[in-house]
Amino acid sequence: MSIRQPSSTAELSVRQKTNINSLWGKTVNQSIRKTSILVLCTVVSWAIFSLIYFITIIDRRSLAVASSSNLRLPAPRDSFKAPQGHGSMIVGITTHTEAVEEESDDISSDGKSLNSLEPITSTDDSEEDPEGDSVTQSSSGDDEEEDVLEGYIESNDAADEHENESQSSLQNIHENVEQVTHSSSGDDEEEDVPEGYIESNDAADEHENVEQVEDLVMNGAQHADENGKLFAIENSVLSDSVQQAEETCDLLPLNGGRYFWRNRQRLVDLDKTKICGPKILIIGAKRCGTTTIADMLLRHPRMRFNSCDLKNTMGGCIVGWFQGALKQGKIFDGDDFTHVRRRMSNGWLDEFGKRLPSTDGITTLTFDKSPSYMDISFFPEVVEYAKTHLPNAKIVATLCNPAERLYSEFHTLLADPYEGYKQLYWDNGVEPPTDFGAFVQLFHNEQICSEKEGFCDTNRKQYLKQGDFLHNLRPWYDTYGKDNVLVVNMDDEPSKIVKKLLHHVGEDLLPESEYPWADVAEPFTTNVNPTYEGRVSSYQYFDDQMKWLEHYYSTQNEELAMFLDEDWPRKWNCRINGDCGRFSW
């Protein structure tokens, strides 16, 4: 192919210009294309980088953000009345030392002396939850409210907002802050975050498991973890009032609600103070006048109680689980074994502490009552747990004829609107008894007992064995010592019972002279079954069953009489011994 040569210089020049122009155009186009590609690449890289960064940030959810945003969730519905100054215990969590100092300044400006960056005192409370079942209870069961936003810190200001004048004696209580860790069961379904508590996305996210974070906190994470993520400052000033209280009462944790949450599990209590635990534990026996005893005690002006109505045993004073709060405080017991285990956890103890009235252990005292505490067959751990947390408590047990006690309890079961007692029978394919005769028969129905493995044993434990008084009292005697356990014969005259009670607790704590003797409580019943004619009707309608029961309990009764060195438990055997004439009632 031949190429035509330019015919003139002018044409050559024009063609050269044209070539140059097209070359230039190509070059320019290429540059633009390259630049565009470069820009595009940069944008895409930036976008990818941003995405990764964003995901990382979201994932780690820096504590600094949590701390600085300091978002508050609604105050807990079950806000408790805490001693004044309680809310001043401050723990700061941040990613920067400056922020820590900033927080520390805040605290100082509050007039509270700070001992920042001090080693955190740890407790080995986690040992108390061998199942790793550190469970807290949602107060509401309201799912929406349980979903506390991650990454936020909630300070329970209920303490500050609701200062209770009547709880003035232990104001400004602080403790040498304990950073208590809670073992993790990994059982998330059961871990309902109570509303109003801290939920914080935390350094835990950077660690494979919760234990690492617990270690972190316990071993100096107040400075920083290896990633510079976690700080905790605390006010470790131990006020005089707490020191004094330590000498006068058994202190229980009173948690202000500043918790450190991860994945709906509480890891660390950031803010703790303590409160006097109950001085008196009314442990039972169920249906033997424990409510009357509580009422008698409460009439003493030095006794404190929470705001619940004493008689309101089913009302659910603050949260459903605390029936009537401390009257049925159920600090140590539960509705079944699972609950017992849960309640052994620190979470449960904290919950309990929140519901205690403030007392100083000298001029004011409080008590707890639950007949289940004496239900040793079902709740054997209760005694040790009580001794661990309330080593100086005075134990009170009210006793009555065990056969009549069972009759009374059966009628409360019939009156139970939830009919929960039927479950045991249904579970075993047994028709739930609707009269006392059938109820007693099932304890010794040979056919059923041989066919239904475990049923009779559980059934006896649940009801019959609550009347094995000596068996149920022994662990309390062994653990607390005889001097600290008072057994009350409920057939005694009320003022005699009150005198014994006051003497048992101590004249210095509950002086007789201050008791309103003109207003000694009369026995009252809490049975709501309208068809119930009282326990004396048992002999009229179910004499055979009562005799069977009297035989069953007779050995225990005799042993109890010898153990107590008292004659009155023999009265419960008098029908089968034929010596009722020597007792007057």
Residues at the contact surface with ligand PPS, assessed by CB under 6 A: 286-292, 371, 400, 408, 490-491, 523, 525-527, 534-535
Nearer to ligand PPS, 245 or 374 (CB): 374
The continuous run of DSSP H or E covering 27 comes out as helix 9-60
Q: Which residue is nearest to ligand PPS (CB)?
A: 523
Nearer to ligand PPS, 11 or 543 (CB): 543
Bridge pairing between strands 485-489 and 394-399: parallel
Q: In whole angstroms, how close is the CB of 317 to ligand PPS at the nearest point?
A: 15
User: Please, are residues 385 and 479 in contact by the beta-carbon 8 Å criterion?
Assistant: no
Nearer to ligand PPS, 204 or 400 (CB): 400
The tokens of 382 are what?
């209760």
Please tell me whether 408 is known to bind a ligand: yes
Please give the Cα distance from 446 to 183 (Å, whole number): 45
User: Please, are residues 150 and 268 in contact by the beta-carbon 8 Å criterion?
Assistant: no
Please give the Cα distance from 173 to 263 (Å, whole number): 31
The tokens of 489 are what?
């014969």
Nearer to ligand PPS, 181 or 401 (CB): 401
> Per-residue DSSP letters for 347-410?
HHHHHHHHTSPP--SSS-EEEEE-GGGG-TTT-TTHHHHHHHH-TTPEEEEEE--HHHHHHHHH
Q: In whole angstroms, how close is the CB of 229 to ligand PPS at the nearest point?
A: 50
Nearer to ligand PPS, 74 or 530 (CB): 530
Nearer to ligand PPS, 413 or 448 (CB): 413
Residue 236, phi then psi, degrees to nearest 5: -105, 20
Please give the Cα distance from 390 to 386 (Å, whole number): 5
User: Please, are residues 290 and 372 in contact by the beta-carbon 8 Å criterion?
Assistant: no
3-state secondary structure 196-227: CCCECCCHHHHCCCHHHHHHHHHCCCCCCCCC
- Residue ranges of the annotated binding site are 408
- Residue ranges of the annotated binding site for 3'-phosphoadenylyl sulfate are 408
